[in-house]
Amino acid sequence: MQHYLDRFETLLGLTPVKPITLDVQGRQRTIQLKLEGHNITGSIKARTAYGLVRGLVDEGKVRPGVELIESTSGNLGLALASMARYLGVGFTAVLDPMSTVECRSRLEDLGAGIVMVDEADEAGGYLLSRLAKVREILASDDKYVWVNQYGSQQNPEIHRRMTGPEILDQMPTPPDALFAAVSTGGTFAGVSRYFKENGLSTRMVAVDVTGSVAYGGRPGRRYLSGIGASRPSSFLEDWLIDHYMYVGTAEAAYYCRRVLKDAGIHLGASSGAVVAACVRYLEENPDISDVLCICADGGEKYESTVYNDAWLERIGADTAAEDDRRGPDAATKAPVAG
């Protein structure tokens, strides 16, 4: 199994960095996008899944006959399903209604088992309900092995070891500011740790969604998958975070659509949120010049959500109003902390 993992690692990464130009308060600004949708399983979670499963294999927990299980909003589930199929073991994804129909269809195509959780938790999301279901399944059948993206240090470690160095290798100089979405916090924590440990002055900006409590936020209803959490992150530490920004659903959807229209790049929901935060940061810090956004995945899995007018109308997310707010007299901004 180690041999197969070594081969899988060679397929990870080297995702492209592409510049786009957006109008920010009447000034053309260049934003570098690290496009993780080009990874082997379609998202940055290919790296996370590899790190998590490698850790379990090294501990002797993955062997023929076991079935991996994880609570997931989508991308990690797809990556784990691909890895499980590659290694010849089973995988069950515990999902909730926020996972897109496109994602569920792909999981089924990969042969993954799917368990749906329909009851929202007290924090306004489904994460706590999904984790309760995972614990219930683990208690009832010992064939299951929990991957535990929420607590395993292999989550941030793979990004400290792989994603951070890859970004620096691709940039002529370290960026002035780097933006990454927070869900478990593993990607951001790993990349930030690498930058900080190497003495780089890049400002590390964590991007979250309104309603998330990943880093002390106020709980509320959330609609985007792949960003935000119903419980505090196990990986985020104060010294890793230079700035923390919250983005709303309409703002994220607006920038998904704007980047597609202006640059022809199809971004996923969390990536739209990251670009939204980056634009707002550039508005507030006009002297910043070199910025990079880690874009976790592409937009093909979100046609039924942030690219769907009926869905946005149903949840009350008005991108037309967001377009008005991005005008020269814009004043309404999502809360900023940190």
| pLDDT tens digit sequence for 193-250 | 999 999 999 999 999 999 999 999 999 999 998 999 999 999 999 999 999 999 999 9
Within the chain, all domains assigned CATH 3.40.50.1100 are found at 2-39+153-327, 45-146
Residues, the chain: 338
pLDDT value at residue 204: 98
pLDDT value at residue 63: 86
CATH code given to domain 45-146: 3.40.50.1100
Question: Rounded to whole angstroms, how far apart are CA atoms 278 and 179?
Answer: 7
pTM: 0.92
Q: End-to-end CA distance of the chain, in Å?
A: 43
Q: Which two tokens stand for residue 174?
A: 């370290």
Q: Which CATH number fits domain 2-39+153-327: 3.40.50.1100, 3.40.630.150, 3.30.930.10, 1.10.1040.10?
A: 3.40.50.1100
Q: Reduced to 3 states, what is the DSSP secondary structure of residue 181? A: strand
With both helix axes pointing from N to C terminus, report the angle between 2-10 and 75-87 in degrees, rounded to the nearest 10: 130
pLDDT value at residue 328: 35
In the chain, which residues have pLDDT < 70? 323-338
Closest CA to 209 of 317, 94, 63, 112: 317
pLDDT value at residue 326: 58
pLDDT value at residue 170: 97
pLDDT value at residue 336: 37
pLDDT value at residue 323: 67
Order of strands across the sheet with 27-35? 17-24, 27-35, 291-295, 177-181, 203-209, 243-247, 336-337
Question: Rounded to whole angstroms, how far apart are CA atoms 90 and 87?
Answer: 9
pLDDT value at residue 98: 85
pLDDT value at residue 319: 79
pLDDT value at residue 17: 98
For 179, residues 6+ apart whose C-beta sits below 8 A from its C-beta are 205, 207, 274, 275, 277, 278, 281, 291, 292, 293, 294
